[in-house]
Structures are given as C-alpha cells and as structure tokens.
Structure 1
C-alpha cells in the first residue's frame, strides 16, 4: 500500500520555500503537496484546503498553517492520518495583540512591510547568525504582498482556541519547536504534547520560529520519525 500523501501548510507570510528541504526529501517516497492558505478566517482556509486535498493525508502545519491544520483535524478527523505542528500556539488572540496587528496592517499598506515583518518575528526569535533565514522571510513576505499580510493578520486576530480539539486527537502527532522561538515557545509545545493523547515533542536546537528553514535537516529527521511511527488502532 502506498504511503499517505503529505500536505504542508506554510506559516504566516511564508510559502513553499519554508519546506524546501522536506519537500525534496519526502517527494521521492510519497506525494507531497504545499497548500496555499486562502480565506479571511482560519475556518475558511481549512475548508479550502479540504476541498483540494486528497481523501486522506498526513498533515504538517507551521504557525498559521498549524492553526489551519488544527481546524482541519477538528472538522475532518477521518481524513487526517497523522498531524505534525511546528512552532504553533492553539490559543486565541489577545485584544492587545489584535490591536498591534491592526497597526501593523496600516504600516504595511504605507510601504513598510519589511519593518512590520521584523516586528512580527523579531531578531531574538532567530538563532545567532541567521541572516539567510531572515532574508528569506522578508523575501517570501514581499512576494506574497501587503494584501496577503492584511488577510493573514486578520485571520490570526479572529482565530479560535483549539485546545479542546487537540485534547480529543486520536492520531499520531508530533510537536516541533525551535529553541529560540519566543512567539511560540518550546514549553508551550511540551504542554500540547502532554495535552494530546498520542503526541511526541521534539526540540530543534539552534533554530527559532522558522525552524524548517533554519535547521532543515533536523526538522526533516523529526518528521521522518513521526511518519515512521506505527499507526494507532482506532
């Protein structure tokens, strides 16, 4: 029997380049799909991915893509064979953070997208000497554009709390966090691994909020272990 297709959901203002190493590694053995996040809310993005995804698949999501992955798991658990969440938080947005996002949208529309991206993911969320990863982050954001920044920012502002859905997860899960990530810190991923019934946690050393880009080999190894784990009997 052929392995389940692997669906990647990129993080905030990221595209397929975030997962370049994982795409190359896994495409030799299974179908690999990088979905676009389209919609005004997490729920709309999840519905769009489900419309285009195979009937059953393994799911990997980073930050915003991880939130969409959680919603896919909530609404269509029978279609998700396994789930991996990278640099994520299942909590809803705070009013203070929502206010900051509105200010950043206004600044991005005024031509300051690079500046607001460095507010979104400040340098302390990267490991030392990570100039290439930061440059790629800014390039992906410029390529996606200001309208996508506004849409994805408002989707984060309206996001639901997904902890209840994660608590009832019945599939094999992997939680992955970069050690320098302060936006979605490792301790939060450890908590999620304890919350979810069949989850493992993997800390990625010398990585921050963009761990698949900063330490691609280590993230690929963690995902390979997750994919190789035996399926659970439901």
Structure 2
C-alpha cells in the first residue's frame, strides 16, 4: 500500500525535472510525490490557492526556494493541510526594495530576446557552488518548458511577497530547514534565523553546494528527506 502523498513545491522556473532524483527515491520508498505546477499564478497567494486545490488531505510538504515561500503562505492560510514542512534553500524575507525594478527589467529582457539569455546572465551564476554543464542544462530546459509567461508571473509573485518569519515563529508544526553552505541567494544566516525562530525545527547545512541542493547534493538530500518522512510515521 502506498504511503501518504508528499507535495513538492518548486522554485522559480523549476518543474519536476529539478526533483527527478527525489521523485525516484520517494517512489522507491513507497511514497507518492506530487510536484505542484506553478505556471500563470502572479502572486504567492495564488500559488498557495492552487496548492490547496491539489493537496486535499494533510500531508508532508517540501518547498524549494520560491516553493518554500509558497509553503509558508499555505501554512498561514491552511495549516491543517501541512503535516510537516521541509524548506530547502528558501527564505522568509519580503523582496528587497531594489528588487522589483530589477525583476521588471529581467521580464522585459526575456520578452525582447529570450529566456535563456536572462538565465545565463542573471540566474545561473548564482545557482551552483561549482559550474556544472549538466545541471545548467537542466535549468535551461526547465526555463524553456515553463516559458516567458510563467517567468513573468513568478517574478511578479516574488516581488510582492511578505515577510513570513512570524508564521515560522508561531507554528506548532515540525519544520526542517535545509541550506547549502555556499548558497548566495538564501545564505546560511537566513537558514539559521528561521531555525532560531521555530522552537520545533531542525537545521541541516550541506557543504559543497549552493542553491540547487536537489541537483548538487541529490543523494544526501534523498537520505535526509526519507529520514524526515519516516520520523513522521
């Protein structure tokens, strides 16, 4: 008999390809993973609402990067749906004041040229601890599959997000924070801040990786996730 479903909330311009190794590991362990497809939702609230329509029963949630931000919004609006929450390479912060204007320029560039140019210039240099052609190609493939409309919607959502540290501090749910020691987008001090705010939480920092932990440290992440899920049984 299959165990409870596990819902995976992806990051910006990410789809199921990002979690290929985790999906295999979860299925092999008897879980049923579901990757929520964020495509046209232009706010974190809309993404949380979509998640709520797909996740109809309490379950563990895994939020990667932007997906972690969505998971925290869901934790605020519908805590009954979240059995436990694992946040990977995520953060609690509202967008910095200078970021919305930068995001608008990135959207305009993607519309005037192509999404790959924007990814190569503004995103890929911050994704990995060490340059990796295979991982970069996965990122570019996902971006092309999701397209400019999804890119625009997701950047708009990130630009208007709220700080959620109070949600982390107030929840009684078990939280697991996983960060990369070389993540420049969601650095270790942010992971530590979230962990410190949540009395019922664990923090794991992984060496030799940056932001894209599901790719750079896939085997280690698989072990951590399976241990976490088994601890919920």
Band of TM-score, shorter chain:
over 0.9
Match of 2:106 in 1: 104
Matches within 5 A, 1:1-234: 3-28=3-28, 29-38=30-39, 39-230=41-232
Q: Deviations over 1:22-80 (max 9, x none)?
A: 11111131221111124110001101110111311100011111111111111111111
DSSP-derived class of the 1:95 partner: coil
Shift of 1:11: 0.5
Normalising by structure 1, we get a TM-score of 0.93
Return the alpha-carbon distance in structure 1 between the equivalents of residues 115 and 143 of structure 2. 8
For 1:64 and 1:119, locate their aligned partners in 2 and report how far apart those are by CA, in whole Å: 20
Alpha-carbon offset, residue 228 of structure 1: 2.4
RMSD over equivalenced CA pairs, Å: 1.6
TM-score norm. by structure 2 comes to 0.93
- 1: CA distance between counterparts of 2:142 and 2:52? 24
Unaligned regions of 5+ residues in structure 1, if any?
none
Please tell me whether the aligned partners of residues 173 and 226 of structure 1 are also in contact (alpha carbons under 8 angstroms).
Answer: no
8 Å contact kept, 1:178–1:209: yes
- Cα distance between partner residues in 1 of 2:130 and 2:140: 17
Give the gaps of 5 or more residues in structure 2. Answer: none
